[in-house]
Structure 1
Amino acid sequence: MGSPFFVVIFLITLEFSQVMSAPNCGPIVAGDTDRIQFALNLEFLEAEFFLNGALGRGLDSIAPSYAEGGPPPVGAKKANLDPLVARIIEEFGYEEVGHVRSIITTIRGFPRPQLDLSPQNFANLFDDAVGFKLSPPFDPYLDTTNYLLASYVIPYVGLLAYVGSIPNLVNKTSLSVLVASLLGVETGQDAVIRTLLYERANQTMQPYNMTVAEFTIRLSELRNKLATCGNKDEGLEVPLFLGAENRTNNNILSADSNSLSYSRTPPEILRIIYATRSEHKVGGLHPNGAGGKIAGSFLQKD
């Protein structure tokens, strides 16, 4: 007689705890400058990854004034890129310097956060994506295709952050122009990376025996799981019901049923870049946490 009673109590308690621990998928309360400043975390990340990947040196060398007060990234190095992709990635790196400058000079900045761009960190990320330990460990700097797959992880997150910011800005005139301008370049970078990968979609990544397209699908699935707020990320190949107008399996541009860009909130972004499924628990690409008021407000809740 007591056993069923306690089972019911357990189930009610479990359901209540799941509701109470449900992720925040709604909008947050934040000022315009804080919303835009939040994106600086991703701009620092992209600047360091692209500059180091193409040139073997980052902000400390290219734009040292923007690196002041923050530690250099861990593990970043020059990638073994083919000449065409090397020039594209170098351009992306310089574009990110401009993005960092635009945000800092328009509103305000914060010291560059600690970034972990080491091969081991990316190896852990790819292991999580595929669901098993890759052997040898995935190395983003090994060759062009590996670097493009690692890059697939980065600009798209920034793109969704900007899309999510625009509707919530109070000052729709000046600051929204800045965000739209940043969004335009981020969108272009993501499209270029996805197109370069799409050209290699059927290439089998040895010795993993998985195609490039399969890796993108797994990486997108991982980001959806980390963000915990539904499907807002799609690989290079999708079933027809997710394709443009339900008529195509190829998916060079990731978009919703109306071919509009998805958006993510700052908590979703933090769950992804921390790789912890929690905006309160640091790790991943930002081992000591992201910078700015929004990211800091979540850390203070622990």
Structure 2
Amino acid sequence: MARRTTAFLIFLVSALKLSLVVMATTAGDHNCQPIVAGDTDRIQFALNLEFLEAEFFLNGAIGRGLDSIAPSLARGGPPPIGARKANLEPLVAKIIEEFGYQEVGHLRAIITSRIGGIPRPLLNLSVQNFANVFDNAVGFKLIPPFDPYADTTRYLLASYVIPYVGLVGYVGTIPSLVRATSRSLVASLLGVEAGQDAVIRTLLYERANQTVRPYNLTVAEFTNRISGLRNKLAACGIKDEGILVPLSLGAENRTNSNILSADPNSLSYARTPPEILRIVYGSGSERIPGGFFPNGGGGDIARRYLPRA
């Protein structure tokens, strides 16, 4: 146990040093600057994450997705790859089911507003895709491959991968919106997304020191590795932190708990659409689709970065 604790502290200190280097080297980087886009395109871009969350939560909790619950909202887009029901404890299953229905409401709110919708993009929610994400996060091939549907802890870790990306996207979007109706809509969406992320992080924090079987890594170590991967892929500094951090990164430098990921003033981090694409594609480039979006995201913002046929 002492050896594991020492190794984890070394990892956290190294992560802090890396964060300072990354923040220094990305300041002024044009890849991290705001993009030019109107309200409609910005909010339609968010639909990519809303589709992803809806399908993952609904399938994980009840074994059925958007095509069963509200097929018109998919707008003719293809069904997701590999999504299925997870082996969840009853309490978590109920929470995730509620999250799924909330995402249906989010999709409806956007699509039926003046913003309008986009067809659901092709989504990859397969075990293989999640296994690739977790292999990249920990830096080696996990054996057996990480299966997000196998049990509650692994599903919560997989859930940790997704909603926070949408949350920081909404935080980054609001200041650029022009219409009051757009700002009101996105603020309302952000409120629920932030709540979902907080619940997921809290459930994981309760398990922070548990070893994730059959792997020799704790829940906290997995969250730190996933956050590190997202920072690396986005390439715009540290905007993501796990559920346990060194005091120097905790709230007011007084706690190593990190149930809500936030900056030194406890304000939410923000990401641009290109940063988000680099993360969800898993490629580190907004121009190279893959990961959760094999054919790329939908809407004008995502499509502008894809190679033209």
Could you tell me the TM-score, scaled by structure 2's length?
0.89
Matched, 1:203 2:214: no
Aligned residues of 1:162 and 1:183 also touching (Cα < 8 A): yes
Instruction: For 2:183 and 2:144, locate their aligned partners in 1 and report how far apart those are by CA, in whole Å.
Output: 45
Offset at residue 300 of structure 1 (A)? 4.1
Structure 1 partner of 2:55: 48
Structure 2 partner of 1:170: 178
Deviations 1:109-142 (A, max 9, x none): 1110000000010000000000000000000000
| Cα 1:131–1:23 shift into 2, 3 Å | farther
Structure 1 partner of 2:221: 214
Aligned residues of 2:251 and 2:266 also touching (Cα < 8 A): yes
Matched, 1:59 2:56: no
Q: Residues 182-261 of structure 1: matches in 2 within 5 Å?
A: 182-261=189-268
Structure 2 partner of 1:102: 109
Instruction: For 1:145 and 1:54, locate their aligned partners in 2 and report how far apart those are by CA, in whole Å.
Output: 14
Offset at residue 170 of structure 1 (A)? 1.5
Report the AA paired with residue 116 of structure 1: N
Offset at residue 68 of structure 1 (A)? 3.4
Matched, 1:117 2:125: yes
Report the AA paired with residue 295 of structure 1: A
Deviations 1:197-233 (A, max 9, x none): 0000000112211000000000000000000000000
Aligned residues of 2:74 and 2:119 also touching (Cα < 8 A): yes
Offset at residue 67 of structure 1 (A)? 2.1
Deviations 1:86-110 (A, max 9, x none): 0000000000000000111111111
Count of residue pairs brought into register by the alignment: 282
Aligned residue for 2:204, secondary structure, equals helix
Instruction: For 2:47 and 2:71, locate their aligned partners in 1 and report how far apart those are by CA, in whole Å.
Output: 16
Aligned residues of 1:23 and 1:228 also touching (Cα < 8 A): no
Instruction: For 1:283 and 1:300, locate their aligned partners in 2 and report how far apart those are by CA, in whole Å.
Output: 13
Aligned residues of 1:255 and 1:261 also touching (Cα < 8 A): yes
Aligned residues of 2:136 and 2:229 also touching (Cα < 8 A): yes
Structure 1 stretches of 4+ moved >2 Å: none
Structure 2 gap segments, 5+ residues each? 1-24
Aligned residue for 1:188, secondary structure, equals helix
Deviations 1:39-72 (A, max 9, x none): 0000000000000000001001011111231110
| Farther-moved stretch of structure 1 (62-71 vs 36-45) | 62-71
Instruction: For 1:103 and 1:284, locate their aligned partners in 2 and report how far apart those are by CA, in whole Å.
Output: 25
Instruction: For 2:68 and 2:74, locate their aligned partners in 1 and report how far apart those are by CA, in whole Å.
Output: 9
Instruction: For 1:92 and 1:30, locate their aligned partners in 2 and report how far apart those are by CA, in whole Å.
Output: 29
Structure 2 partner of 1:3: none
Give the percent of matched residue pairs that are identical in Structure 1 and Structure 2.
76
Aligned residues of 2:75 and 2:118 also touching (Cα < 8 A): no
Report the AA paired with residue 83 of structure 1: P
| Farther-moved stretch of structure 1 (59-68 vs 24-33) | 59-68
Aligned residues of 1:195 and 1:252 also touching (Cα < 8 A): yes
Aligned residue for 2:260, secondary structure, equals coil
The structure that has the greater radius of gyration is 1
Instruction: For 1:120 and 1:83, locate their aligned partners in 2 and report how far apart those are by CA, in whole Å.
Output: 26
Structure 2 partner of 1:152: 160
Could you tell me the TM-score, scaled by structure 1's length?
0.91
Instruction: For 1:65 and 1:145, locate their aligned partners in 2 and report how far apart those are by CA, in whole Å.
Output: 33
